[in-house]
Amino acid sequence: MAGLRLRGVAGSPGVALGPAFVFAPAARAAGGGAEAEVQASAAPEAEVARWLEARARLEAAYDRLVERAREAAGRGAAGAAAAEEGLAILEAQRMMVDDPGLEQAVREAVAAGKRAEAATREAVDRYAALFAGLEDAYLRQRAEDVREIGEAMLRALAGEEPIPLADLPPGSILCAPELGAGALLALDREALAGLALGSGGPTSHVAILARSMGVPAVLGLGDFLDEVRQGARVAVDGEAGELWVEPAGEELERLARAERRARAEREELAGLAGQPAVTPDGLRVELVANIGGPGDVEPALEAGAEGVGLFRTEFLVTGRETLPGEAEQAEVYRRVLEAMGGRPVIFRTFDIGGDKPVPALHLPQEANPFLGYRAIRIGLDHPDLLRTQLRAVLRAAAEAAPGGKGGAAGRGGTGPAESPARIMLPMVATLEEVRRARRLLEEARGELVARGLFPEGLRVPLGIMVEVPAAALIARRLAREVDFFSIGSNDLIQYTLAADRTDERVAGLYQPFHPAVLRLIGLCGEAAEEAGIPCGICGEMGGDPRATALLLGLGVRELSMTAASLARVKREVRRTPLARARELARQALACATAAEVEELVRAFREGWTAAGAAGGADAP
Ligand code: PEP
Ligand code: MG
């Protein structure tokens, strides 16, 4: 008997084997009490008072968790990145608990005769539906926060601990129907070996946190707890998305081997922290992070990012009814620059339209939004919007420069000082777009200099994302007029293969290793080298270790990715001699299909594993 295999979804990679700790907090008085909840409440004031008392207990529970996460983040110890991530989630949830809108909705429902439980459900459902209906994935996730708070509030109303805590024996695999971010953060990290949950998907908070904590997790297992008794030996396979109950024989051996490998890898990657990203033959590669807001800066630094290769600034405008002004934007940008402490930060101008709606602009519905009114096209068509953003970045650059605004930067030196702030234009297809944007940048700069808000001698580089095949094909011409390239492989792949990146039915055509995609990247790498400007990449491919050698061979010298991918990509850079990477790229460009390229890459990388197993970790 190999044991029982239960299928869920992969939540966080790695394999963990250990005793199950089944954690099913007492069902709150929900099911049976539901009828009572909708009965008319005889004393509305008493119901409101009961709700306010429950909320106070919930606030206190959140305050305790926020405090713990803050302490853990402040200690800067291993796991501080997870603590930062958790802190951001908890603080956002803590604010929602106090939301006056929520209280108002509950008061109204109680006044209409509902009991506090039913009123809470109604208010929470309304809020959650509002968020769930938004197109922006980040904002959609807020629905999850609202529901989590609703559950905690109902527990508090039932007289239970609002955020139940599990007391874990060491080495446990926590098995639970669901687990909020708060409850996960409240666990003893040292004791938690793995996580198996009935609910949740790969983008849920609990999955994001488990990944940043390095805890293997399988989610979405449904009603699996009937199959797991307390203390049973279980194995979480976070890659396959499977939970094994009482694995035995060969299966047990396979899982135990995988667990040892995963642990050794974690240790190896941890050992790379603080080491430079340099190939064995001496090429220094810049490893930088993609961020979506100031909250991502700390985790990026923690993971060893040498800068920000892509700041997706559009969180400032998506889903908003009014647009942020120059000062509000400048403040956000300055905070990021300062937090990065002089390391380079690439601000991408608003990449809106397509799948990112901006209510304030009343953008029309389109039949082909990815081919339509998007990104730089909108910016050039709404020059005030783009100019405001350019001024905001310039102001932030000036304020973060030594000497502050309008200050000493660049004065009296040997030439213009270069700011760590860089500006990047998304979805460029033509040279005219670059020229018009540069004119707007010069105008913005002139206005600020006149207002004494920007020093004459400070240079803020202007680069472009190469996401449209047309741009890659004229890369040599573009390279003469921009300061850097960054390949937006997510879009470049979808446009090259004409395969919508959000349409699952054509997912098979979305091929990062297609020779056509590689040729376009190669054109950018060559053109950049010829013109003496840097060529980076900031799409998902940049964080895929399987693509690292190819990208280096094609001339890419800066790799930008989510913080979680940095260590693996660094390991890849450190074992890839540039000469071999070039040869690999040459062979890949001669391939006819993505499958052939993948096979080539697999064989190339197998060399490391074999050499590593033989003890020669650095040998190719
Ligand atoms: C890309 O297209 O690769 C990219 C980084 O931009 P986004 O994913 O934000 O469209
Ligand atoms: Mg893009």
* Phi, psi dihedrals of residue 48, rounded to the nearest 5°: -65, -40
Lowest mean pLDDT among 10-14, 204-208, 520-524: 204-208
Q: Cβ contacts of residue 444 below 8 Å, gap of 6+?
A: 387, 390, 391, 394
Structure tokens at 264: 């050794």
The CA distance from 238 to 216, in Å, is: 5
Lowest mean pLDDT among 94-98, 228-232, 406-410, 418-422: 406-410
pLDDT of residue 168 exceeding 90: no
Q: Write out pLDDT tens, residues 495-533.
A: 999 998 877 788 899 999 999 999 999 999 999 999 999
Instruction: Tell me what pLDDT residue 138 has.
Output: 60
Q: Is the pLDDT of residue 409 over 50?
A: no
The whole-number pLDDT of residue 39 equals 57
Q: What confidence score (pLDDT) does residue 408 get?
A: 44
Instruction: Choose, from 175, 205, 524, 535, the residue flagged as catalytic.
Output: 205
Tokens for 115? Answer: 């009991």
Q: How far is the CA of 314 from the centre of ligand 1 (A)?
A: 12
Contact 12, 203 (CB under 8 A): no
Ligand nearest the Cα of residue 490 is 1
Q: How many residues does the chain have?
A: 620
Share of the chain above pLDDT 70, in %: 89
Q: Tell me which ligand sits closest to the C-alpha of residue 538.
A: 1
Nearest residue CA, atom 1 of ligand 1? 488
Strands (E), 336-375: 345-348
Name the closest-CA residue to atom 9, ligand 1.
312
Cα–Cα distance between 203 and 197 in angstroms, integer? 14
CA of 503 from ligand 1 middle (Å) equals: 16
Half-sphere exposure for 16 (CA within 13 Å, toward CB):
28
Q: Which residues line ligand 1 (CB under 6 A)?
A: 310, 312, 351, 467, 488-491, 538-539
Pick the residue whose CA is nearest to atom 5 on ligand 1: 539
Is residue 136 classed as helix, strand or coil in its secondary structure? coil
Is the predicted pLDDT of residue 617 greater than 50, yes or no? no
Task: Give the pLDDT band (50/70/90) at residue 117.
Answer: very high
- Where residue 77 falls among pLDDT bands split at 50, 70, 90? very low
DSSP 409-430: TTSSSSSPEEPSEEEEESS---
Q: What is the pTM of this model?
A: 0.70
Region class of 85: left (phi > 0), else alpha (psi between -120 and 50), else beta:
alpha
CA 415–ligand 1 middle distance (angstroms): 34
Structure-token match 């190339």, residue found = 604
Q: What is d(CA 493, CA 486) in angstroms, rounded to the nearest whole number?
A: 14
Pocket test for ligand 1, best of 491, 492, 558 (most atoms within 8 A of CB): 491
Instruction: Give pLDDT tens digits for 119-136.
Output: 999 988 888 888 877 766
Could you give the CA distance from residue 606 to residue 53 in angstroms, rounded to a whole number? 61
Mean pLDDT of 67-90: 65
Measured from the Cα of 538, ligand 1's closest atom is: 5
- pLDDT of 436 > 70? The answer is yes
Between CA 424 and CA 313 the distance in angstroms is 11
**567 or 75, greater pLDDT:** 567
State residue 590's pLDDT score. Answer: 98
Q: Please state, in angstroms and rounded to a whole number, the distance separating the CA atoms of residues 576 and 281.
A: 8
> Does 423 have pLDDT greater than 50?
yes
Q: State yes or no: is 382 an active-site residue.
A: no
Distances (CA, A) of 609 to 261, 571, 605, 616: 12, 12, 7, 10
- Mean model confidence pLDDT for the chain: 87
CB neighbour list of residue 482: distance below 8 Å, 6 or more residues apart: 434, 462, 463, 464, 533
Q: Which ligand is nearest to the CA of 560?
A: 1
Q: Which atom of ligand 1 is nearest to the CA of 467?
A: 2
Closest Cα to residue 448, out of 403, 394, 408? 394
Predicted confidence band at 30 (pLDDT cuts at 50, 70, 90)? Answer: very low
* Amino acid at residue number 306: E
* pLDDT digits 0-9 by tens, 290-302: 998 888 888 889 8
* Structural tokens at position 417: 């000082």
Give the mutation target among 356, 510, 524, 538 for probing the ligand 1 site: most ligand atoms within 8 A of CB. Answer: 538
From ligand 1's centre to the CA of 262, what distance in Å? 30
pLDDT tier for residue 67 given thresholds of 50, 70 and 90 = confident
Helix axes 594-613, 545-553, angle to 10 degrees: 110
Output phi, psi for 88, to 5 deg.
-60, -45
pLDDT exceeds 90 at position 73? no
How large a percentage of the chain has pLDDT more than 90?
58
Q: Give the burial class of 283: count Cβ atoms within 10 A of its Cβ; 0-12 exposed, 13-18 middle, 19 or more buried.
A: middle
Candidates 486, 483, 445, 485; CA nearest to 462 is: 483
Measure 76 CA to ligand 2 centroid, in angstroms.
33
Question: In this predicted model, which residue has the larger pLDDT, 411 or 102?
Answer: 102
Determine which residue's CA is closest to atom 8 belonging to ligand 1.
Answer: 490
Residues 6 or more apart whose CB falls under 8 angstroms from that of 586 comprise 553
What angle, rounded to 10 degrees, do the helices at 44-75 and 80-97 form?
A: 160
Give the range among 73-77, 79-83, 578-582 with minimum mean pLDDT: 73-77
Q: Hey, what domains does the chain have and what are their CATH numbers?
A: 4-22+167-270 (3.50.30.10), 34-157 (1.10.274.10), 286-577 (3.20.20.60)
3-state secondary structure of 558: strand
Active site residue 205: yes
Distance of CA 413 to the CA centre of its chain: 39
Per-residue DSSP letter, 293: S
Name the pLDDT band for 582 (thresholds 50, 70, 90): very high
What the block records as the tokens of 349 is: 């101008």
Nearest-ligand number for the alpha carbon of 290: 1
Cα 214 from Cα 209, distance rounded (Å): 8
Average pLDDT over residues 419-434: 98
DSSP letter string, 144-177: HHHHHHHHHHHHHHTTS-SS----PPTTEEEEES
Contact (Cβ atoms closer than 8 angstroms) between residue 290 and residue 310: yes
Q: Hey, which residues does 284 pair with through a beta bridge?
A: 278
CA neighbor of 498 nearest in space, from 514, 519, 476: 514
Query: What tens digit of pLDDT does each residue of 154-165 get?
Result: 989 998 888 877
**Relative to the CA of 494, which ligand 1 atom is closest?**
2
For residue 494, give Cα distances in angstroms to 222, 370, 522, 575, 578: 34, 9, 17, 30, 28
What pLDDT is stored for residue 479 in this prediction?
A: 98
Q: How remote is the CA of residue 201 from the centroid of ligand 1, in Å?
A: 22
DSSP letter assigned to residue 356: B
